[in-house]
């Protein structure tokens, strides 16, 4: 049971931007911190801009900036948006996949309920709560080291 790499990177980018506060970071800087392919991170930041979570400005002093209050953005909402369309098993996707039991299977609704329980648990966590505490100083240090 795994989140997609896209969701994983989305959460990392959001955490960095939350800790960065007024400091702007670029996609390249974030991809370098995570030793991740630029194109992968760029797709994530494009999605975040399109969904209205992040603003992006060009130029020397440009970069990415979190829109909105990180204490009001829940992890559940983001993960649900990214993962909620895909079922956790083949039978939950599109036309039921190849499973011959799919049209009348009780497992499908059981897995759907379990997936909802997963999302609901993350509805209690905000970007602010993730970056408070131990991780905040680490992120700030990383952000500063790449900006300066």
Q: Are 145 and 33 in contact (CB under 8 A)?
A: no
Instruction: Tell me if 42 contacts its own copies by CB under 8 A.
Output: no
Q: Applying CB under 8 A, which of residues 26, 47, 56, 89 lies at the interface with its own copies?
A: 89
Q: What angle do CA 120, 78, 61 make, to 5 degrees?
A: 150
Instruction: Tell me if 22 contacts its own copies by CB under 8 A.
Output: no
Task: Considering only residues 49 through 68, tell me which ones interact with its own copies, judged by CB under 8 A.
Answer: none
Cα 3 from Cα 57, distance rounded (Å): 29
Q: Quick check: helix, strand or coil at residue 120?
A: helix
Task: List interacting residues with its own copies (CB under 8 A).
Answer: 1-5, 7-8, 11-12, 15, 33-35, 75, 79, 83, 86-91, 98-101, 104-107, 110-111, 113-122, 125, 129-135, 138-139, 142
């Amino acid at each position: 049971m795994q989140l997609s790499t896209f969701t994983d990177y989305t959460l990392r980018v959001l955490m960095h931007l939350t800790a960065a506060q007024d400091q702007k970071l670029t996609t390249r800087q974030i991809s370098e911190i995570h030793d991740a392919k630029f194109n992968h991170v760029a797709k994530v930041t494009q999605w975040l801009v399109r969904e209205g979570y992040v603003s992006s400005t060009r130029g020397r002093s440009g970069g990415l900036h979190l829109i909105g209050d990180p204490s009001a953005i829940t992890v559940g909402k983001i993960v649900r948006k990214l993962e909620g369309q895909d079922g956790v098993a083949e039978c939950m996707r599109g036309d039921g996949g190849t499973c011959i039991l799919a049209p009348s299977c009780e497992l499908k609704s059981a897995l759907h309920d379990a997936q909802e329980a997963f999302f609901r648990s993350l509805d209690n966590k905000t970007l602010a709560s993730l970056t408070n505490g131990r991780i905040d100083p680490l992120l700030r240090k990383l952000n500063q080291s790449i900006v300066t």
